[in-house]
Amino acid sequence: MLSENVFPEPLTILDSLVNLVEPNPFNTNYAYNSSLANQFNNFNEINLEVNQLNTQSLWSNSPQVSQEQIDPLSVDLPDLIITGLNITSPIKAGNTVNFNYTLRNQGSVTASSIQTKYYLSNDSLLDRTDLELGDDNLSSLAKISSQIRTDSVNFSGNLNSGTYYFLVVTDSANTNVESDETNNTFVKEIRVTKPDLVVDPASITVPTNPVIAGQSMRVGYTARNQGDAGSSSGTTKYYLSTDMILDSSDSWLGNDTVASLSAGASTIRSGTVTLSSTLTSGTYYLLTQIDSTNTSLESNEANNVSSKAFSILEAPDLIVNTLNIPSSVAGGSSLNVSYTVENIGQSTASSHTTRFYLSTNTTYETTDIEIGSDSVVALSAGASLTKVKNMMISSSILDGNYYLLTRADTGNKVRESNETNNLFTSSAMIEITKPDLEISQFTLSTPNNPTVGSTLDVSYTLTNRGKVNAIGTTTKYYLSSNEFFDASDTYLGDDNVPTLAVGATLNRTDSFVLNTNLSSGTYYFLAIADSTNLVAESNENNNLDSEPIIASSNDQPDLVITPIIGNLVANQGENLNLSYTIENQGSVNAEPSTTKFYLSTDTTFDNSDVLLGSDSVASLASGTTRTQGVTLPISSNFNLGTYYLFAITDSEGVVTEIDENNNIVYQTLQITAPPQPDLLFDGLSIPNTVTQNSNLSVSYNIRNQGNADASATTTKFYLSTDTTLDNSDVALGIDNLAALVSGATSNKNLTLGLNNITPGTYYLLAQADSSDSLSESNENNNIISQMFGITEPPKPDLLIDTLVIPAQVNKGSNLVVVYNILNQGLASAASSTTKFYLSTDTTLGNDIYLGSDSVGTLASNQTTQKMHCWRLAIQLMQEPIICWLFQMTIM
């Protein structure tokens, strides 16, 4: 604390002290109150402690000091300066740059709460127009000490190329009162650069001859970076335009990926684009828009589009029509069609296929019936071709009226200006007809309780209700347990029927001898017309008629199944093990039979129920029971839920029983989901970029999150241009994955070769269980993707750095050449050959070849000096002449 004895006149001393401290040149907002208390508070606020005042002498009227102590009042203060700055130059606009600077306190006391700011300026002076880039804060810096500070700032992509000044201003917030407030700024000149991508219009290549609409064409161009900084890899887009200006009306044709270009570099690009088939003839422009997605921040964003004119010829256009279509045709016979194909377009149509269909309406649909096809040769513009095609009408086609559809260029092999006029529909319909044999009035005369050897008399009526004559057929007779024919029915005899005209009726009688015994029960005698399906008919469901017959017997078995106890549960896709009891409650032994098991969605057994399996039952004595086991497969195609299991004894009806209605029992069956594995990726790690034709190191984790163990599987890797796996992706390799128990994870590493892959941005797709060998609870989570880039490898670049030759050489004397060759590329150069030519100008053409010189391998940035000499023949020139010597290096 200051005392009154030390400062008898405090106001005067404080005024003098304030006058010693100059305001910060970047902040003039200091204000001092007139009162002593306020001045003293301000004195403390600028961080000057009392004990930092070093009083060398006091006033002469002070009683404590002598006259020799009278000196000016001095104050100990910090003094912050920047003594050094390390920052790279030039700097690419848009980049973040790391730098460091040295901050020194050359004052006599500690400096605190130091804020340093960075500015970008057009000159070396700090003013309000300068751009603040960032700041750095330091809590304190001891007296007579330095500290190296490291920081980074971003140079905006909006900056123009040019020379700037990087200003580092310490104590920018004026928190320290320094002995020198004029030395807080350090200035360094830097240069900001930007790329500038252009396409030279003269470099754009398009076909010289007119291109037919709908076809592909080769295009090319030279991309050049005329800026002073390297560019990022980007995309060039091709557009088709009717003028040289790119706007929303232009049609996009395709993309081309351009690798990064150093300042002044260029690259020749080429590709293929496909034109729309609907374009009309005329002059168009190919527009190339380099850096179309603005991946590079350029000094000029308005020069990315260039154009080249070329001609387009309108595509071909095929139409077709048919002549002399018959009104009807019989199923199974042939149809002759005369048709004409014409090219009404302006260019030649290549060979193609015409197809013919039968349709119930005038519009082509995939459900229409194809009846034939015909090949058509190439047709020039305006040409036509008439052909006749013979086609067989299948007997499987239903009777009815159909339109004949004739469709040119069915597979769309020809790209046409109009793809909607290839279909011709007949104006009249064609009727497809067939015969239709119907059996009716079937009667059977039998004795009571017929037995083997009994004669049976039958009669029936056969009518052809179709619109086509029916050829001769065979009617067969069967004995059946029901009114429907199946393979278990017993054949009894047959009847040969002659040809039957349209609408004709034939009454037939026949007799045969019964060849089997009949137990008690009801039977059916069946008569089946056209039993061998020799005739294709319009209706195949009216060929059968039946007549019942009843036989009786008191001594018969009676098979029943004891109801299955308890609800049944089975896993989807697994087996159901089941036991059941069968009893013969009849008065005689039951011959061997079969029990069948069906799965139903309800408690009614019908033809929609699904057969699960069967079980053979041996002969069963009267009054006995037997318990048998059976294994039934539960298909994975069944949905989960509640079903009913039906058990049917004597399911094939081989045992004639007293009661045929007690052979069925059912029980509830619950189908549940089985435990399943589920493979998915927890991670996929690859480098961000790799060099073309190098290997890709892959690390991945795969986990079984299912509730069942997973057997061994295969993981497959693909190279793709997107995140979706499809047939266009390239397989890179496979990795075998061992079995994984439920909940386990496997960490895998492998290397994949990337040979002959064009540089660019790609995705690595990994597919677990790629062969689908594993049945999983979720089949949609087996793929993971990761983006990476493939870059071009470094290349050598040879140039002649120095070439020394004499100014004049006499005829017949020696010509001595000394030259330096430099490899300015980033990769070593293999051995090469330098060739020399004698020319009358500076252009290499039909010049005189002198010889060659071998050059060994050169490392990157390596130079070698070479010397060579030749004797110039006297016959070389008649008069003295100044010659140019050319060299050419051949790798």
pLDDT the model gives residue 449: 60
CB hemisphere CA count around 316 (13 angstroms) = 26
User: Domain extents for the chain?
Assistant: 10-74, 80-193, 197-313, 318-433, 438-551, 559-672, 679-791, 798-890
* pLDDT surpassing 60 at residue 574: yes
Residue with tokens 């949905």: 639
Q: How far apart are CA 172 and CA 132, in angstroms?
A: 12
pLDDT tens digits, 166-183: 999 999 999 999 999 999
pLDDT tens digits, 845-868: 888 888 899 999 999 899 999 888
Identify the CATH number of the domain defined by range 318-433.
2.60.40.10
- Which of 196, 193, 160 shows the shortest CA–CA distance to 291? 196
Instruction: Concatenate the DSSP letters of all residues of 82-116 into one string.
Output: EEEEE--SSEETT-EEEEEEEEEE-SSS-EEEEEE
| Structural contact between residues 279 and 215, judged by C-beta atoms closer than 8 angstroms | no
DSSP 562: P
* pLDDT surpassing 70 at residue 888: no
Angle between helices 10-20 and 36-45 (to 10 degrees): 40
Residue scoring higher pLDDT (587 or 468): 468
pLDDT the model gives residue 395: 83
Q: How far apart are CA 338 and CA 341, in angstroms?
A: 10
| Structural contact between residues 514 and 450, judged by C-beta atoms closer than 8 angstroms | yes
The strands making up 814-823's β-sheet, listed across from edge to edge, are 798-804, 814-823, 863-871
Residue 551's φ and ψ, nearest 5 degrees, are -120, 150
| Structural contact between residues 737 and 712, judged by C-beta atoms closer than 8 angstroms | yes
**Do the two domains 197-313 and 559-672 of this chain adopt the same fold?**
yes
63 pLDDT tier (thresholds 50, 70, 90): very low
| Structural contact between residues 886 and 836, judged by C-beta atoms closer than 8 angstroms | yes
850's CB contacts (< 8 A; 6+ apart) are 815, 836, 837, 838, 870, 885
Residue scoring higher pLDDT (723 or 331): 723
pLDDT tens digits, 200-209: 999 999 999 9
Q: How far apart are CA 625 and CA 584, in angstroms?
A: 6
- CA 822 to chain CA centroid, nearest Å: 45
Q: Which CATH number fits domain 559-672: 3.50.50.60, 2.40.50.100, 2.60.40.10, 3.40.640.10?
A: 2.60.40.10
Q: Which CATH number fits domain 679-791: 3.10.450.50, 3.40.50.970, 2.60.40.10, 3.90.1150.10?
A: 2.60.40.10
* pLDDT surpassing 90 at residue 521: no
**What is the second-level CATH architecture of the domain 798-890?**
Sandwich (2.60)
What is the CATH T-level fold of the domain 80-193, as seen in this structure? Immunoglobulin-like (2.60.40)
Classify strands 266-274 and 216-225 as parallel, antiparallel or unpaired.
Answer: antiparallel
Is the sign of the CA dihedral 871, 875, 878, 884 positive or negative? negative
Biggest alpha carbon distance in the chain?
168
| Structural contact between residues 399 and 373, judged by C-beta atoms closer than 8 angstroms | no
Cα torsion through 121, 125, 129, 133, rounded to 10 = 50
Q: Which CATH number fits domain 197-313: 2.60.40.10, 3.40.50.1820, 1.10.287.3610, 3.20.20.70?
A: 2.60.40.10
**What is the second-level CATH architecture of the domain 438-551?**
Sandwich (2.60)
Q: How far apart are CA 73 and CA 54, in angstroms?
A: 8
Whether the ω angle into residue 674 lies within 30 degrees of 0, i.e. cis, is: no
* pLDDT, mean over the chain: 87
- Which of 201, 465, 469, 156 shows the shortest CA–CA distance to 333? 469
Q: Is the pTM of this model over 0.75?
A: no
Residue 242's φ and ψ, nearest 5 degrees, are -90, -5
* pLDDT surpassing 70 at residue 239: yes
| Structural contact between residues 342 and 384, judged by C-beta atoms closer than 8 angstroms | yes
Q: If phi over 0 gives left and psi between -120 and 50 gives alpha, with beta otherwise, what is residue 5?
A: alpha
SS3 letters across 397-416 = CCCEEEEEEEECCCCCCCCC
Strand partners, 419: none
